[in-house]
């Protein structure tokens, strides 16, 4: 089974019409995943066997707007990592809640150029700020060496939580899973007056395909039932249980629906805490069960 990822910021005048055509093409059980469309572009992650994925690629590039789409492929288990096929029209293909000029995004660095940001000891070179633009739980599971995170629960918090004054005179490099979030984040940072701004082209997944044994630590969180991609042969776990601190990388939502916090929890704490993230949430769940 292949997981195909792709995105492109491109003007789509009739996203609803395109959605109908894609739904007709992907109606068969051979496809599962999510395709998001908006007037600003397309963002997708779809699974299928080799024949199905090749057919989808051919169909997409037949549209002049997508003829230069960059496709990222990962091999996975002999089953779909997604539950169903969803094709939706949204206001944004990745929610940012801030209008930016996407023609003024950061310069793209190839995986080879990204590796050159590090010295021979595996440390970031001087005057470089490496920003992870993903959510907090993604960062905990794995990240590039020396990366900084701005404590985001969701990507749309980026504009509020980033301290521009701390990075104005630095070489700023950003990365995310596939590149789609960085495109907006780098454009925003440039509009705030930061001049030396870059992003990892096509994100973590493509980097892992080309440079699996280099400057990545841990695993890469993915938004499907796999939960994370190993990235390299080491498969090192760098995250800890949110409750007890034990080394683990199992993610789950808090059983308390009012909380629903996505957090890392070991099996022992899941059992003891009744699949909740805190004593308070556990009490809440137990009280509802007894009433």
Q: To 5 degrees, how large is the angle CA 102–CA 106–CA 112?
A: 135
pLDDT of amino acid 224: 79
Q: Which CATH architecture has domain 102-229?
A: 3-Layer(aba) Sandwich (3.40)
What are the boundaries of each domain within the chain? 2-89, 102-229, 251-290
Q: Which two tokens stand for residue 251?
A: 């993610």
Q: Is the dihedral of CA 277, 149, 5, 141 positive or negative?
A: negative
The pTM is what? 0.86
Strand partners, 107: 198
Topology at the third CATH level for domain 2-89: Alpha-Beta Plaits (3.30.70)
Q: Which of 26, 176, 220, 248 is catalytic?
A: 176
Mean pLDDT by 10 residues, the chain (291 residues): 95 96 88 96 96 96 95 87 94 96 96 96 93 94 94 94 94 96 97 96 93 89 79 77 89 90 89 91 87 67
Residue 86 neighbours by CB under 8 Å, 6+ apart:
33, 34, 35
Same fold across 2-89 and 102-229:
no
Q: Is 176 a catalytic residue?
A: yes
Predicted confidence at residue 54, as pLDDT, reads 96
Structure tokens belonging to residue 240: 């800890």
Longest dimension (CA), the chain: 62
What whole-number distance in Å separates Cα of residue 95 and Cα of residue 42?
13
pLDDT score, position 236: 82
* Closest listed residue to residue 161, CA positions, set 110, 98, 230, 233: 98
d(CA 41, CA 90): 10
| The token pair that represents 283 in the structure block | 């009490």
């Amino acid at each position: 089974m292949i997981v195909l990822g792709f995105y492109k910021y491109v003007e789509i005048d009739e996203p609803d019409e395109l959605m109908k055509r894609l739904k007709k093409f992907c109606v068969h059980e051979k496809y599962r995943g999510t395709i998001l469309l908006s007037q600003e572009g397309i963002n997708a992650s779809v699974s299928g066997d080799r024949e199905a994925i090749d057919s989808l690629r051919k169909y997409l590039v037949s549209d002049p707007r997508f003829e230069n789409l960059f496709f990222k492929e990962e091999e996975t288990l002999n089953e779909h990592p997604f539950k169903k096929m969803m094709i939706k029209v949204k206001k944004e293909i990745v929610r940012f809640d801030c209008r930016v000029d996407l023609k003024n995004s950061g310069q793209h660095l190839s995986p080879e150029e990204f590796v050159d940001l590090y010295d021979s000891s595996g440390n970031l070179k001087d005057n470089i700020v490496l920003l992870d633009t993903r959510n907090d739980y993604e960062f905990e599971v794995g990240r590039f060496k020396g990366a900084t995170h701005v404590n985001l629960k969701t990507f749309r918090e980026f504009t509020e939580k980033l301290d521009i004054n701390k990075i104005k005179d630095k070489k700023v490099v950003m990365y995310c899973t596939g590149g789609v979030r960085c495109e907006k984040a780098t454009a925003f940072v440039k509009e705030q007056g930061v001049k030396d701004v870059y992003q990892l082209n096509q994100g973590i997944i493509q980097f892992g395909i080309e440079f699996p044994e280099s400057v990545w630590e841990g695993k890469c969180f993915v938004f499907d039932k796999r939960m994370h991609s190993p990235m390299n042969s080491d498969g090192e776990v760098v995250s800890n249980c949110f409750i007890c601190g034990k080394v683990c990388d199992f993610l789950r939502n808090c059983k308390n629906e009012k909380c629903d916090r996505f957090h890392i929890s070991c099996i022992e704490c899941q059992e003891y805490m009744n699949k909740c993230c805190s004593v308070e949430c556990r009490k809440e769940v137990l009280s509802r069960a007894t009433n």
